[in-house]
């Protein structure tokens, strides 16, 4: 079943998780096929209640928001501000998580009859999170309370400034923190070191929604709502929570699974708010919205403005009630997304050429590429694509005309990127992040030393097999078992994403027929077994390349891939999306 032989794409295939008798019994109890027993095991669903909650994620399963540290302090101050009509501001990050968090608070407070001042820092001139100048500006405008979303947990200087000038700051964030807490009126973050809240993988927009839940309940308990001031239905904004959570690649388990599953239902409604409706039209999406469409179509469009220092475009799109303005903003973001894609492709080609010119990957453990003129808003995306191709931790650095570099890194499983970057700290001006992604800044004169130090730091974590790319599959199926009934069962596991990967199946000894190129990039074919059962299949972005060449050469192969329904011209067909193949 598993094999150490390399595939056409040079990868090793391994089963993701062994099936146990207990999980086979659980799957049978829920009427699920044997394949799903291994999937339940991999997700740690070991009892009836856990499986029930996973398959039917309901909002009533959400834990109490007051279980988060400082949530009571935040709510007490906000109730006071709402009752007194004090001027409030939200300060959000410029990525999708921050933009959806800001839009959520704007929509909620607008429903209360209050306008929220919005401040999104400029990515290039201000950088990430609150800064002292922003705090002084908001105070000068008469703002009394600032709520940060998706940022602020390590903003010591800015929060000290706010405290000194009399601003009350409520921090809502989800990023990793230091042991010391910055001076805020309230700091709501499941990852603060002294918080026992068990759900640590929430996105920033999830934390913001929890703040809204707690505040709404407190206002209800105080009798603030009335016939003239109706209580808003918070479920109407779960689409924002789903988009921000998926785009931030937060794990789709626990709280996040509940929020995202219900949020995608809201996003799929025809009556969705006009901004999201315009965005769906720009992305040519109709009907139900899936997590993958958010990750690869909606999220990048919202993000495009922030990457190019126009983060307020996304906020305005998701908060406007004017259809014409929504269409105009969606078209602008569509244009900026195309510009981002062009920048990304150009930088990727340059980075690959630079790596090749310096001797290729060779024996290097960690790769660093740097170039003057690269756009710092795109370096993280380029780093991710380099990791996909080269399967090494990568840091991409954009150098400016003043000899300063801004870098973004991405890692592979088994390498703690933040630890590797931290080992080079004497060469850096600033850094931060986590195991899988990190950001940094440095003086260009330290670049050669950083390249060497980073390579050594990654090398210190090396173990045999670390750089062998692996494709994990969930089970082996007969080709005839890939049918509508199976796909219906797989659909019950949606939404797929981080922590809940789309199931991958292995089909052994099938014959490739009718293989052909589509758009000079994709390969479409038909899989046939020895009983002449057939299954349509496609692999994307495989040509030119060894996987595409292997499939076009036809013959008998083993394939791994995901199973779905392909809708085309009002006809639905069962289809496999091939991830990899090897000679049978």
- 455 shares its domain with 509: no
- 484 shares its domain with 454: no
- 156 shares its domain with 254: yes
- 176 shares its domain with 308: yes
pLDDT of residue 177: 84
pLDDT of residue 2: 44
Residues 6 or more apart whose CB falls under 8 angstroms from that of 217 comprise 65
Q: Beta strand 145-149 with 367-372: parallel, antiparallel or unpaired? A: unpaired
User: Would residue 276 count as lying in a domain?
Assistant: yes
pLDDT of residue 520: 86
User: Would residue 131 count as lying in a domain?
Assistant: yes
Per residue, the 3-state secondary structure of 507-531, as one string, reads: EEEEEEEEEEEECCCEEEEEEECCC
State the total domains in the chain: 4
How far apart CA 403 and CA 357 sit, in angstroms, is: 23
Q: Which of 137, 136, 144, 165 is nearest to 86 (CA)?
A: 144
User: Would residue 345 count as lying in a domain?
Assistant: no
Contact 299, 307 (CB under 8 A): no
**CB-neighbour burial class of residue 67 (10 A; exposed 0-12, middle 13-18, buried 19+):** middle
User: Would residue 272 count as lying in a domain?
Assistant: yes
- For 116, 517, 552, the CA distances from 520, given in Å and listed in that order, are 49, 6, 12
- 140 shares its domain with 225: yes
User: Would residue 449 count as lying in a domain?
Assistant: yes
Domain ranges, residue 239? 62-333
pLDDT of residue 570: 64
Question: What is the CATH classification number for the domain harbouring 371?
Answer: 3.10.310.30
Per-residue pLDDT for the chain (584 aa), expressed as one digit of tens each? 444 468 998 899 999 988 889 999 999 999 999 999 999 999 889 999 999 999 999 999 999 999 999 999 999 999 999 999 999 999 998 889 999 999 999 999 999 999 999 999 887 777 778 999 999 999 999 999 999 999 999 899 999 999 999 999 999 999 888 788 999 999 999 999 999 999 999 999 999 999 999 999 999 999 999 999 999 999 999 999 999 999 988 889 999 999 999 999 999 987 778 999 999 999 988 778 999 999 989 999 998 877 666 778 999 999 999 999 999 999 999 998 998 889 889 999 999 999 999 999 989 999 999 999 899 888 988 999 999 889 999 999 999 999 999 999 999 989 999 999 999 999 999 888 778 888 899 999 999 999 999 999 999 999 998 998 899 999 999 999 999 999 999 999 999 988 899 999 999 999 999 999 988 889 999 999 999 999 999 999 888 889 999 999 978 999 999 999 887 666 788 999 999 999 98
Q: What is the DSSP letter of 3?
A: B
- 395 shares its domain with 415: yes
299 - beta bridge partners?
A: none
- 484 shares its domain with 447: no
pLDDT of residue 309: 63
Contact 425, 385 (CB under 8 A): no
Q: Which of 218, 212, 271, 236 is nearest to 80 (CA)?
A: 218
- 379 shares its domain with 477: no
- 405 shares its domain with 487: no
- 408 shares its domain with 490: no
- 413 shares its domain with 481: no
- 362 shares its domain with 287: no
pLDDT of residue 3: 46
Per residue, the 3-state secondary structure of 450-502, as one string, reads: HHHHHHHHHHCCCCCCCCCCEEEECEEECHHHCCHHHHHHHHCCCCCECCECC
Q: Which of 76, 108, 112, 77 is nearest to 226 (CA)?
A: 112
User: Would residue 107 count as lying in a domain?
Assistant: yes
Question: Which pTM was predicted?
Answer: 0.89
CA dihedral sign, ordered 102, 107, 109, 113? positive
């Amino acid at each position: 079943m598993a094999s150490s032989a390399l595939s056409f794409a040079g990868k090793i295939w391994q089963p993701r998780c062994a099936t146990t008798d207990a999980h086979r019994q659980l799957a049978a109890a829920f009427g699920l096929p044997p394949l799903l027993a291994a999937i339940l095991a991999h997700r740690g669903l070991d009892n009836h209640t856990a499986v029930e909650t996973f398959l039917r994620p309901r909002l009533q399963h959400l834990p109490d928001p007051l279980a988060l540290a400082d949530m009571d302090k935040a709510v007490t101050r906000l109730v006071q501000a709402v009752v007194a009509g004090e001027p409030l501001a939200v300060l959000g990050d410029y990525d999708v998580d921050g933009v959806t968090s800001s839009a959520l608070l704007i929509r909620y407070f607008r429903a209360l009859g209050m306008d929220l001042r919005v401040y999104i820092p400029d990515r290039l001139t201000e950088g990430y999170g609150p800064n002292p100048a922003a705090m002084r500006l908001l105070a000068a405008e008469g703002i009394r309370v600032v709520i940060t979303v998706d940022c602020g947990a390590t903003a010591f200087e800015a929060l000290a400034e706010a405290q000194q000038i009399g601003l009350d700051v409520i921090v809502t964030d989800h990023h990793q923190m230091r042991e010391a807490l910055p001076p805020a009126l309230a700091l709501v973050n499941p990852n603060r070191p002294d918080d026992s809240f068990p759900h640590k993988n929430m996105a920033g927009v999830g934390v913001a929604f929890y703040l809204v839940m707690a505040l709404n309940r407190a206002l209800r308990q105080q009798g603030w709502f009335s016939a003239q001031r109706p209580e808003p239905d918070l479920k109407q904004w779960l689409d924002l929570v789903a988009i921000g959570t998926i785009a931030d690649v937060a794990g789709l388990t626990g709280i996040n699974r509940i929020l995202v599953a219900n949020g995608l239902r809201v996003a799929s409604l025809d009556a969705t708010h006009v901004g999201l409706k315009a965005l769906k039209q720009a992305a040519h999406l109709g009907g139900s919205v899936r997590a993958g469409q958010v990750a690869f179509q909606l999220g990048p469009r919202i993000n495009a403005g922030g990457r190019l220092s126009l983060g307020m475009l996304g906020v305005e799109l998701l908060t406007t009630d004017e259809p014409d303005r929504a269409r105009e903003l969606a078209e602008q973001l569509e244009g900026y997304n195309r510009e981002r894609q062009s920048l990304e492709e150009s930088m990727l080609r340059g980075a690959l050429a630079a790596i090749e010119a310096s001797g290729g990957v060779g024996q290097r453990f960690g790769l660093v590429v740097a170039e003057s003129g690269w756009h710092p808003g795109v370096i993280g995306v380029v780093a991710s694509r380099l990791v996909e191709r080269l399967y090494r931790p990568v840091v991409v650095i954009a150098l400016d005309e003043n000899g300063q570099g801004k870098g973004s890194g991405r890692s592979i499983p088994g390498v703690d990127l933040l630890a590797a970057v931290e080992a080079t700290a004497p060469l850096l001006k600033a850094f931060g992040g986590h195991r899988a992604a990190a950001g940094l800044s440095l003086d260009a004169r330290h670049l050669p030393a950083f390249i060497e130090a980073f390579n050594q730091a990654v090398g210190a974590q090396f173990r045999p097999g670390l750089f062998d790319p692996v494709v994990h599959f969930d089970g082996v199926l007969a080709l005839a078992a890939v049918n509508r009934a199976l796909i219906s069962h797989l659909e019950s596991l949606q939404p797929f994403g981080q922590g809940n990967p789309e199931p991958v199946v292995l089909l052994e000894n099938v014959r490739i027929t009718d293989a052909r190129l589509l758009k000079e990039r994709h390969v479409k074919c038909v899989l046939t077994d020895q009983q002449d059962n057939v299954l349509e299949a496609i692999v994307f972005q495989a040509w030119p390349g060894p996987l595409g060449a292997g499939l076009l050469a036809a013959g008998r192969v083993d394939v791994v891939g995901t199973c779905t329904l392909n809708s085309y011209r009002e006809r639905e067909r069962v289809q496999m999306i091939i991830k990899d193949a090897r000679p049978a």
